[in-house]
Amino acid sequence: MNAELLYIYDTHCPWSYATTALINEIAQHLPDIKIHYWHSALFSAAEYGEGNHITLEQLNAVKEESKLDFSTAYQQTLNTATDSTLAANLLAWTNHKAANKTLPLLNALQNAHFQQGIGLTNIEQIQAIIDELKLSPPTKALKSDKLSKDAEFDLHEIFAIQEIINTKAIPALLLVNGDNLTLLNHSLYLSTPNAIVNAIEVELTNT
């Protein structure tokens, strides 16, 4: 199987948090599919001048569709701007230099953010995760004031793909099989993440 999967997401996006559950299923049950993790830096104040924030209405929509719970600690942060610059830099470096650690890192960061209410905006907040995963990121991957070259490279890849699929909405899951590029409707599987596996197998059989 030569298929690949492009995952466009943002660590601080609750819809992305729900969609990572699908990625976990794909990684476990379809290990031959190479997954590319592209952080969109949607909530990067360093990139766009000011952060953004998630509304309670948006969060409730995610909870309803995915059946996920979000901690009280996280919900108390909804009225403040969020900044994913540091997470974007760290994950971009991992995606390029330590690909096998990207998904464990993404899961750990999202759990810290959405279940513990940690902002992930400084090294102190992520050091324990880095240590646990035995990562040795360079200084450029730990910057919180500007996007690294690795993160910017991934953004250029994202922009190119978004031109093709004609949407900037995230998260996005794109299945690449030879010359075929398929935008998967991830929203169909948020409440039953394991169903995405069969959907991809069917897609691969039909292309």
Strands 34-39 and 180-184: unpaired
Predicted confidence (pLDDT) at residue 121 exceeds the cutoff of 60? yes
Predicted confidence (pLDDT) at residue 157 exceeds the cutoff of 60? yes
Bridge partners of residue 172, in order along the sequence: 8
pLDDT band at 47 (very low <50, low <70, confident <90, very high): low
> What is the token pair recorded at 178?
């030879």
> What is the token pair recorded at 147?
């996007």
For the stretch 137-144, contacts whose Cβ atoms lie closer than 8 Å and that sit 24 or more positions apart, written own/partner, are 137/90, 137/93, 137/94, 138/93, 140/89, 140/93, 141/89, 141/90, 141/92, 141/93, 141/94, 142/86, 142/89, 142/90, 143/85, 143/86, 143/89, 144/46, 144/83, 144/85, 144/86, 144/89
pLDDT in tens, 161-184: 999 999 889 999 999 998 889 999
Give me the domains of the chain, ranges plus CATH numbers. 4-206 (3.40.30.10)
| DSSP 8-state secondary structure symbol assigned to residue 99 | G
Average pLDDT estimate for 87-112? 97
User: What is the torsional sign of CA 70, 76, 79, 83?
Assistant: negative
% the chain with pLDDT above 70: 96
Predicted confidence (pLDDT) at residue 99 exceeds the cutoff of 90? yes
From 48-62, 169-183, 187-201, the region with the lowest mean pLDDT = 48-62
Predicted confidence (pLDDT) at residue 189 exceeds the cutoff of 80? yes
Total-model pTM? 0.94
Predicted confidence (pLDDT) at residue 49 exceeds the cutoff of 90? no
Describe the crossing of helices 149-165 and 85-97 by its angle, rounded to 10 degrees: 90
The pLDDT score that the predictor gives to residue 206 is 82
> What is the token pair recorded at 129?
């995760």
